[in-house]
Amino acid sequence: MSDKKALTFSIMDGPFEQARIVTVLRMIDIAAKRGYKISVFAYEGAVSLPFAKQAQHPNAVHGNDLAEENHPLAKDWIAALMKTARDNGGELDWINCGLCVDERGMGDAIDGVRRGTPGDLWSCASESDNTLIVGTR
């Protein structure tokens, strides 16, 4: 194992439903800024996080048009984390559970996302310094 840490995360939640994703992405942000090797196994609803067709909207309640609101999208967060990891000499390998993608019709993911199986979670975890499983409720 290299001197750069390797860490694996597994998440199960989609965007806009709960707070877990933000916390996990904050942890991944720390790892990306340190140039660590990061593996994410997106299981169940989490495969929708990097879905390419997510779109911003205006918010009349806030009185903001589309640009002013600048509504956050999980796919953009993930793209930014991938870039940050690369810029710092690391890597963010985002693996979407293939069966979970198919049943949700989430095949259109942003660049850098690949399909995988639970075997990928096990192999990433086995090769990592640590693993964090974030279940859903």
The token duo for 108 is: 């259109």
Residue from 27, 52, 58, 88 in contact with another protein (CB under 8 A): 27
> Is 36 one of the binding residues for another protein (CB under 8 A)?
yes
- 3-state DSSP assignment of residue 118: helix
> Is 114 one of the binding residues for another protein (CB under 8 A)?
no
State the residue for tokens 């640009």.
67
H or E element in which residue 68 lies? helix 66-69
φ and ψ at 134, to 5 degrees? -115, 100
**From the centroid of its chain, how far is CA 128?**
17
Instruction: List Cβ neighbours of 62 (8 Å cut-off, separation of 6 or more).
Output: 68, 69
The token duo for 14 is: 């989609």
In the complex, minimum distance from the CB of residue 10 to another protein, in angstroms, rounded to a whole number: 8
> Is 125 one of the binding residues for another protein (CB under 8 A)?
yes
> Is 53 one of the binding residues for another protein (CB under 8 A)?
no
Q: Which stretch binds another protein (CB under 8 A): 48-56, 61-69, 82-90, 117-125?
A: 117-125
> Is 7 one of the binding residues for another protein (CB under 8 A)?
yes
Give the Cα separation of 99 and 97 in Å (integer): 6
Q: Which stretch binds another protein (CB under 8 A): 25-33, 47-55, 74-82, 107-115?
A: 25-33
> Is 77 one of the binding residues for another protein (CB under 8 A)?
no
Binding site for another protein (CB under 8 A): 5, 7, 10, 12, 19-20, 23, 26-27, 30-31, 36, 43-44, 117-119, 121-123, 125-126, 129-137
